[in-house]
Amino acid sequence: MQELLKAEKLNKYFHGPDTVQVLYDISLSICESEFVAIMGKSGCGKSTLLYLLSTLDTEYEGTIDINGTRVTGLNENAMARFRNEYIGFVFQFHYLLPEFTAIENVMLPALKLGNFDHEAVEKNALEKLRRMDMHQHAYKLSGKLSGGQQQRVAIARALINDPTIIMADEPTGNLDSVNTDVVFNIFSQLVQEGNTIITVTHDHDFARKGNRIIEMADGRIKT
């Protein structure tokens, strides 16, 4: 299988009054069409690692290559462009804009990328919402949706630019078992279509359905 993402010797520090190291020498390699789950206790560094891998956090030591591009050290514009095009991110807390409708939230990353006109983007967004069984709520304010519904809108938003890699931080954290299955089935389908998924989860059943589990403890990958 073709290697898609390679991280080498990632070290991450947070600087406050004291400097704390939260990631230690993390090296990993992820292939095309892999469905990888990152697991480990609260506070072990899962979200921090995902932020690095997704290029949202650029303050770290080590290198990250995605799809043959050394993303470490790219300037801000090039990085944003790369991220918009290749990476769909589902946050631990969904970060929808509550005063915008569900479909407007989904459309935003595509309008930002600017490859398609408004009408095409809206059609695509509705399609993505349909996939999440959320099309009937498309024109409601996202702040008026339930937690699980908001999470599904956030997943639709992550898919809008047809990213190569989907990175998700506890995407099923707020969902009941029925909706967890909905998300899992969509992720499986995306993997079958050639996408790669890296997801943080506390859900062992969800993780076991993927191809591989990366287990973390105290900022390190357990071997």
22 binds, among ligand ATP, Mg ion, none (CB under 5 to 8 A by kind): ligand ATP
Query: Please, are residues 178 and 172 in contact by the beta-carbon 8 Å criterion?
Result: no
Nearer to Mg ion, 120 or 217 (CB): 217
Q: Characterize the bridge pairing of strands 212-217 and 220-221.
A: antiparallel
Taking the CA atoms of 179, 185, 188 and 192 in sequence, report the sign of the dihedral they define.
negative
**Smallest separation, CB 194 to ligand ATP (Å):** 28
**Smallest separation, CB 92 to ligand ATP (Å):** 6
Nearer to ligand ATP, 2 or 42 (CB): 42
43 binds, among Mg ion, ligand ATP, none (CB under 5 to 8 A by kind): ligand ATP
Q: Buried b vs exposed e over 155-174: b needs ≥16 C-beta within 10 Å?
A: bbbbbbbebbbbbbbbbbbb
The end-to-end CA distance of the chain, in Å, is: 22
Three-class DSSP category at 7: strand
Q: Which two tokens stand for residue 100?
A: 């915008």
Nearer to Mg ion, 102 or 183 (CB): 183
The rounded distance, in Å, linking the Cα atoms of 185 and 79 is 30
19 binds, among Mg ion, ligand ATP, none (CB under 5 to 8 A by kind): none
Nearer to ligand ATP, 120 or 217 (CB): 217
Q: Minimal CB distance to Mg ion: which residue? A: 47
Chain contacts with ligand ATP (rule: CB under 6 A): 14, 16, 20, 22, 40, 42-48, 92
14 binds, among ligand ATP, Mg ion, none (CB under 5 to 8 A by kind): ligand ATP
Nearer to ligand ATP, 24 or 116 (CB): 24
Query: Please, are residues 107 and 160 in contact by the beta-carbon 8 Å criterion?
Result: yes
98 binds, among ligand ATP, Mg ion, none (CB under 5 to 8 A by kind): none
Taking the CA atoms of 15, 20, 26 and 31 in sequence, report the sign of the dihedral they define.
negative
Nearer to ligand ATP, 40 or 109 (CB): 40
**Smallest separation, CB 168 to Mg ion (Å):** 11
143 binds, among ligand ATP, Mg ion, none (CB under 5 to 8 A by kind): none
Question: CB under 8 Å to 195, separation ≥6 — which residues?
Answer: 33, 163, 164, 165, 166
**Smallest separation, CB 57 to ligand ATP (Å):** 9
Chain contacts with Mg ion (rule: CB under 5 A): 47
